[in-house]
Amino acid sequence: MRGGRLMPWQIGQALAQGVEPRRPLAAARAIAAACGAVLIAACAVFSPPLWQLPPSALGEHLAQQRLIITRNGETHALDAVVQSESGRLRIIGNALAVRLFTLDYDGTQVSEGPGVGLPAGLPPALIVNDLLAVHAPLPALRAALPEGWWADDTSGVRTVRDARGAAALTITYQGDDPWQGRSELVAARGYRIVIESTEE
């Protein structure tokens, strides 16, 4: 801590451990920057163009999710509300009761709504693609992947492979319903997102 201010990595760790830092708005902005640094690093590992998947393929869902992001041994966390209905996927990111971002995906593009703002350099497509990879039915996901990519489900594990056949993403489910329970998405170089989801 410098000058009484929490550093971004301290805020992320505090949230992951259930400790509420002081100064909510400043903390929310700091965690946005911290999460951005983690996810931007991941973009070099897995950064395809925005997948074209009709949200109607997801069905109608409303879920509270805890996103726990680990990169190079550091852990950061934020809360999200994820809603799929009427041909739209909406993702609202929050920290300490402050809205960080709002993303609306219609199957072809992402628009940004109210919020403090996405961390600098964090592409909305990365967030949308990761959630589609976890939640989309397998046939719909296969149809949305870039040319030459492929996906398979085997015994609670989903593997997304690139055009070379290398595993771009591995997703492990702890239940039959990805909207209810814990899922873990792992990419190369230690990038991981744990999604703890409770459907309303």
Predicted pLDDT at 73: 72
**pTM: predicted TM-score of the whole model, two decimal places:** 0.74
Predicted pLDDT at 22: 45
- Per-residue pLDDT reduced to its tens digit, 3-27: 444 434 344 444 444 544 445 555 5
Predicted pLDDT at 72: 65
Predicted pLDDT at 140: 96
Rounded CA-CA distance 151/131 in Å is 15
**Regions in the chain scoring below 50 on pLDDT:** 1-17, 19-22, 28, 31-48, 121
Predicted pLDDT at 29: 52
Asked if residue 110 lies in contact with residue 124, where contact means CB atoms within 8 angstroms, the answer is yes
Predicted pLDDT at 43: 41
β-partners of residue 101 are 93
Predicted pLDDT at 26: 54
Name the residue among 127, 132, 130, 82 with its Cα closest to residue 107. Answer: 132
For the domain covering 55-199, report its CATH number: 2.50.20.10
**Where do the domains of the chain lie?**
55-199
